[in-house]
Structure 1
Amino acid sequence: MERDIQRVIGSSSILAATLDQTSRLAAINRPILIMGERGSGKELIAERLHFLSERWEQPFITLNCAAINDELMESELFGHEPGAFTGATRIHHGRFERADGGTLFLDELGTMSAKLQEKLLRLIEYGEFERLGSQKTLRVDVRIIAATNANLRDMAAHGEFRDDLLDRLAFDVIHVPPLRQRLEDIPELAEHFALRLSSELGWDYFPGFTQEAMDSLFQYHWPGNIREFRNVIERSVFRTGQTEEKISTVIIDPFQTDQTKPVETAPLVTEDTEETHQPFKQQVENFQKQLLINALKRHQHHQAKAAEELQLSYDQMRGLIRKFKLNQ
């Protein structure tokens, strides 16, 4: 059964830089680490790395490390032989065997135990492992892509993650920007998810959103990122129902009974609260510029530290500084 590969929606400069980095890294057969907040689209980036690589016709296997306990995780990764433990009655081929020749995507890597980290490091180093209950060494050719929303460098500094494993996994790091850093993508994303649900429901027409509804989308801070955004758009379209009028109510919180009350949000405006009537694109760029200025101020213009706070790569930070001419 073929996977339903979803395209990455958006045309913002920060997303374009991330996709460009992804495309370039797809060509090199090295482990890659994807960093980003929950719901920001890390698995889509992993899929892009695989399907733009020479391995695109081979398996793309995924495993959420946070969804399985340690005992099952070892079996899921490396497989087991009959009799390896109670209930093991036949050979089980683990994810590494199933991904041979292709790519294994390990999501939520920061939750992996120290024991499994050690076994994973050995596999990356030598391409070898044994199934549980077996002494036979197996070899595989698997590209590993890992993702996490945890700060693995801090975890390694506190002995919670292996330094040597982090070094091997991070040939390069892709930082997936959160939605609040790519506000100009909101109209395109809203239309995409609304049209998709309308089509799923068999509706012939989607009227769009009012300006007030769009404003509420821009003002929310989106802690759940694209995953949360998709749910909000689809929920709002479904509850409104078929109509020729533009959708005016955006239902961000399904637990809130009175949708006329504003949802509590973290303020998106930083230091510049002056009301403007500039074009949308200019207002978004002003907001991005102010984010950079504030972060640089907080870190005494140390660009690397400011980039880390904003979850940007150093190259992305330098590109935005040049774009907004902040180094002049």
Structure 2
Amino acid sequence: MKHLIHGLKNQLGRHCYYSSITNLLKFSGYDICEGEVFILFGGLEMSYDQTIGILDLTVKDKLPIDQYDNITFELKYTEFKKSKMYMNKILNTILDDRIVIIAIKNKYLNYNHVYQESGEYLHFILMYGFDEENDLAYVADTFMLDSSGDSSMYMGPMPLKNITEGLGAYGYLQDAKNIRFDRNKIFCSLKEEFNKFLLTGMECSRDFTYYRGNHAISMYSKRIFYEYTKHCNLEEACFNTIYDLKFGVMLPLIDYFIEIMEIYNIFNKNLLKNDLLLLKQKWHDYFILLLKIGFAKDNAKIMNNARLHIEDLLVLQNTVFSKIKLCMECETVKERNYV
């Protein structure tokens, strides 16, 4: 059996999960940007467990139902032993002309050799068709990286058996299309989530030390100076920090803020945009310093430069984020049509 869902426009995003959700919502008739999806789906709810040295960027699997009960979406994590049962559900969903978001282990992404080398990590893509006779799945990858760190996308076939063997989760929209979003409600959610992101701090007990929100970013970004020896060597700590912050948090986060300011016409948006672009450049400079530390044999001087740089950077970040908070509080939301 073969079935394709037509009309999907694959638009390049900044994060595989949030861009997949955005493309899925847009296909279903919702006018929403990836920055809004990131915040509404709990993207700011990041945490850092200092006890084990892990920055938790686990994606949230559903919208807050009490606020968005006109949308039903839930991400269902799978068990390998039941993969054929899950695949039957996915194929039946596609037969019902519903595009499915799936999480697949990187090693099964035959169209991206860089990702195949990273093994067991999950990557989110959209599946919009299948051809069982020829063992093909038709997928849209809305955000992937090459070996140089440049982003790209893919739309086309891949082996259906790879989906079956590498499936980690799947989800789809279950309710009617073309339901209007209440923009005021969305903006209130944006402000609420951003305030929580700024205010949440540290939790301690005898067994763990836990940081949340902006404080998690701050502590994780400085960990190479204080605690990396507990969990890994310096080189590994530097590269993990670059990957988690560059691709998982800071650069997408800054781009999302710029996108939201453009859409909502936030007061002083041009000034804030310049501040955010400066902040983005400062993070780039920090990642370069971490690379030098990771590769250098005698890195005491570079370590000191990096320590001074991140301290100044975090002061700048707190200042910029405080400006955004103030502008959000002063903003009067104008009508924007959501279809």
Q: If the length of structure 1 is used for normalisation, what is the TM-score? A: 0.29
Using CA pairs below 8 Å that are at least 6 residues apart, which structure has the higher relative contact order? 2
Q: Judging by fraction of residues, say which structure has more helix.
A: 2
TM-score (norm 2): 0.28
